[in-house]
Structure 1
Amino acid sequence: MIAVAGGKGGSGKTTTTLGLARALSRRGARTIAADADWDLPNLARLAAETATDGGPADPDLPSGPEDETTVRDAVRGTVPVRPDRSEPTVLAAPDAPRSVDAFGALAALDGATPDGAPVLLDCPAGASADAAAPLRAADRALIATPLRRAALRDAAKTAAIARRLDCPPVGAVAVGEASVPDSVATLLGCPVLGAVPDGGAEPLSDPAVRSAYDELARRLGETAAADGWQIA
């Protein structure tokens, strides 16, 4: 599992999680994107608002936003998680998150998803216990950050926390940027795998943004973090 993490809210974690998940699907991977930001969950809503014609719906999966498949459903086996290659499966936050052990549920996702399926966790911001849970559960982190000074400082702190939690960053992605100075990789202590340009109010519908996530997926697929992924 890869935790998509960043230092502050608004750093592009959710958009990056979904954009990268869709790019991996376009490469033929059966991808799962799970909302791990249970206090401010918006991954499933963003997926619904930006849905494309990803193919026929699975009749065994819920179809309405009020019946979203949650992380808890997945780990309990209440709803089967059978991602296809046309569109990532998105898992929403639990309905009553405070009644669920976040680390236990997120760690159990590995056993509840098919072998060889990339799993991306959309992380909370900051360094709270809630933010630490997905980093503890994941194998690697992907640091998403704008290139503003304060955001980079917080991203570096997040990268350091990820290392302490045995979730070393596989790389970083610069959000809202067309290019990245070499100094960013030095600051974060990991390679910069991609730069995603500013796509305006609806970035996931922008062809340049989609192309940038495709390139990020390609480069991520060449790292050790992708070992064992089944990409057609």
Structure 2
Amino acid sequence: MAGGKGGSGKTTTTLGLARALSRRGAPVVAADADWDLPNLARLASAADGDGGSVPDAPTVLDAVRADGAIRPDRRAPTVLAAPNDPGDADAGRALGALAEAVPDDSPTLLDCPAGASPDAAAPLRAADRCLLVTPLRRAALRDAAKTAALARRLGCPPVGTVAVRAESVPAGVGELLGCPVLGRIPAVAPEPLSDPSVRAAYDDLARRLVDEHGADRWRVA
């Protein structure tokens, strides 16, 4: 999940899509690749209704150091937190090891840092495709286009765009970003992942993503 700005909805989309794929029976791994501003585990904890405390989730480093293999559960996504001491680890090496440790038929979603900075490059190098996540404001779309250009240079082409907090998607967004709009997530506050309309939107996104890019690769119902 890549986007141009912090707060663009990447973390919520990572978890929302992971849960939608899990509802289809896929053994999903969702990993926090934004080590400077990690919040995937916190969001997963809050969405599970435990008050928002950070769970004792395994980190990306825990997962790749365990026994060389990760065995995702088909009943719920495996959420991997950022390392406790990110400065002591090489993100590119760790995320590359994660890619090797997860079974090929299990979708792995990386919640990337915002923008086109060097920090954003490590997960894009480790991934084989990216999904752009952006609001439809002019500045956000401009930044998303820069992120898309970086992803292509790193061999991680965008397969599509998710328009978040959007009531409609104007013509031309796909052309601007060089990939089709695969999903539109409605604006719902304060807990979007518990809203039926948001859940349905992520289910539709998962269906389109599987149909167009994962049907011959991932274990899905």
Q: Is the 8 A contact 2:45 2:55 kept in 1?
A: no
Does the alignment pair 1:5 with 2:8?
no
Aligned pairs for 1:73-222 (under 5 A) are: 73-77=62-66, 81-222=70-211
> 1:92: how far off?
0.2
Answer with 88-97 or 125-134: which moved more: 125-134
TM-score (norm 1): 0.90
> 1:223 aligns to what?
212
Answer with 41-50 or 105-114: which moved more: 105-114
Work out the CA distance in 1 between the residues paired with 2:128 and 2:215: 10
Aligned to 1:174, the other structure's residue is in SS state strand
Aligned to 1:220, the other structure's residue is in SS state helix
Aligned to 2:183, the other structure's residue is in SS state strand
Work out the CA distance in 1 between the residues paired with 2:156 and 2:15: 20
Work out the CA distance in 2 between the residues paired with 1:66 and 1:85: 20
The superposition leaves residues 33-79 of structure 1 with CA deviations (integer Å, 9 ceiling, x where unpaired) of 00000000000010011117xxxxxxxxxxx9463200001111269
Work out the CA distance in 1 between the residues paired with 2:107 and 2:83: 21
TM-score (norm 2): 0.94
> 1:55 aligns to what?
none
Count of matched residue positions in the alignment of Structure 1 and Structure 2: 219
> 1:113: how far off?
1.5
Aligned pairs for 1:18-37 (under 5 A) are: 18-37=15-34
Work out the CA distance in 2 between the residues paired with 1:67 and 1:148: 36
Q: Which runs of 5+ in 1 are unaligned?
A: 53-63
Q: 1:139 to 1:12 in 2, by over 3 A?
A: same
Q: 1:89 to 1:66 in 2, by over 3 A?
A: closer
Answer with 102-111 or 16-25: which moved more: 102-111
Task: Give the letter aligned to residue 213 of structure 2.
Answer: A
Q: Which runs of 5+ in 2 are unaligned?
A: none
Work out the CA distance in 1 between the residues paired with 2:216 and 2:113: 26
Aligned to 1:107, the other structure's residue is in SS state helix
Work out the CA distance in 2 between the residues paired with 1:170 and 1:80: 27
Q: Is the 8 A contact 1:73 1:79 kept in 2?
A: no
Work out the CA distance in 1 between the residues paired with 2:129 and 2:216: 12
The superposition leaves residues 97-147 of structure 1 with CA deviations (integer Å, 9 ceiling, x where unpaired) of 011110111111122112311000000001211111101110001000000
> 1:82: how far off?
2.4
Work out the CA distance in 2 between the residues paired with 1:224 and 1:68: 29
